[in-house]
Amino acid sequence: MTAVKENPPSLTGHVAVVAGATRGAGRGIARALGEAGAIVYCTGRSVRGNLSPYGRPETIDETADMITAAGGTAIPVRVDHTVESEVEALFGRIDREHGRLDVLVNSIAGEEPMMAMRNSFWKTNLTHAEAIFRQALLSHIITAKHAVPLMIRRRCGLIVEVTENDILSAGGNPLSQSVKLALKGLALNMAAELKPHGVAAVAITPGFLRSEAMLEHFGVTEANWREGGKKDKNFLESESPLFVGRAVAALAQDGHILERSGQLCSSWELAREFRFTDADGGRPDWGAITIDFSAFPPAFLEYFRTGAQIQLEWLNALSARTKRFLSQLPR
């Protein structure tokens, strides 16, 4: 790992695309990249006059306004990232306007409502399964495909896949679990292909994220969010979307980013290393707290315990096999 950088260089003059900048982690990441000086293209489907299919009020225009109001540069562009022609047109425009792309953040469909149902795989409703995979996974692949040539041409760049949890597993039903695991694997696979070209790819997870939807769930605002701790103690260690945004901005400014290409990062671990804080000056650390599991039924805790044990055995076996394979490769 690289040494702590207390005063990293700014991103002035760099060009970033945040795909899925409408709300949640995507919005926070777009704001943080703008804060660091990057020109930020905020993309998504929700614009003024054509609101979210999710029924939410946030738009990419609103995100861009937040960035410009803070003194940054932001360009909202309506893009359906499941439509390859629209994605291709986006990067063609960026190439014409700037001739470069430094950062791509794939935060598309992070809060896709179709993935919200939580149940056993044998009880999962598969009516929208193909739509889920197209919206939440294929969209990431389409977007990375058309972004990468701009980075390869300059032999530098960073792709960030926003996922959930800093281990293999993630919450939800088998559809959402498959998507979140695949995004981690996507960064891993892209890293191997891109390293000879000087381009890095990582996956990142926030901790307990205070997205707009989560604030509504707890009946609080960003101004009084700590009141939500009365319902759930864990919420007191939550983070605003800007926190994971500053984690991405720190990665984008890391001169040794290729050394961690392919890795699964977390906002809290990067905060320890780069010493950035959240919007309120705090430094939430989801990895250091003792999580309060008292609201979970015993059967659910046993599921977590069994899953973690199986995962650990799987990783140990995989590590041994990978080392053996590596030793067989000719030097």
Hey, what amino acid is at 23? R
Lowest-pLDDT range of 103-107, 172-176, 196-200, 309-313: 172-176
pLDDT in tens, 250-273: 999 999 999 999 999 999 999 999
Per-residue confidence band for 117, with pLDDT thresholds at 50, 70 and 90: low
Mean pLDDT on 125-150:
96
Mean pLDDT on 173-181:
93
**CB < 8 Å & 24+ apart, contacts of 302-311:** 307/169, 308/167, 308/169, 311/167, 311/168, 311/169
> For residue 6, what pLDDT is reported?
43
Asked whether the predicted pLDDT for residue 1 surpasses 70, the reply is no
For the chain, what is the mean pLDDT? Answer: 94
Asked whether the predicted pLDDT for residue 111 surpasses 90, the reply is no
Per-residue confidence band for 2, with pLDDT thresholds at 50, 70 and 90: very low
Radius of gyration of the CA atoms of the chain, in A: 19
Whole-model pTM? 0.95
Mean pLDDT on 66-81:
97
As beta bridge partners, residue 17 has 41, 104
Query: Which secondary-structure segment (H or E) carries 29?
Result: helix 24-35
Mean pLDDT on 203-229:
96
- 159: which residues sit within 8 A by CB, 6+ positions away? 103, 104, 105, 106, 144, 147, 148, 151, 187, 190, 194, 199, 200, 201, 202
User: Cα(64)–Cα(42) distance, rounded to whole angstroms?
Assistant: 7
> For residue 173, what pLDDT is reported?
86
* Tokens 């000086």, located at residue: 37
Asked whether 133 and 126 are in contact (CB, 8 A), the reply is: no
Lowest-pLDDT range of 49-53, 127-131, 238-242, 302-306: 49-53
The secondary structure of 140-180 as a DSSP string is HHHHHHHHHHHHHHHT-EEEEEE-S-SSS--SSSHHHHHHH
pLDDT in tens, 15-28: 999 999 999 999 99
As beta bridge partners, residue 42 has 18, 76
DSSP state of 323: H
> For residue 20, what pLDDT is reported?
97
User: Cα(113)–Cα(149) distance, rounded to whole angstroms?
Assistant: 32
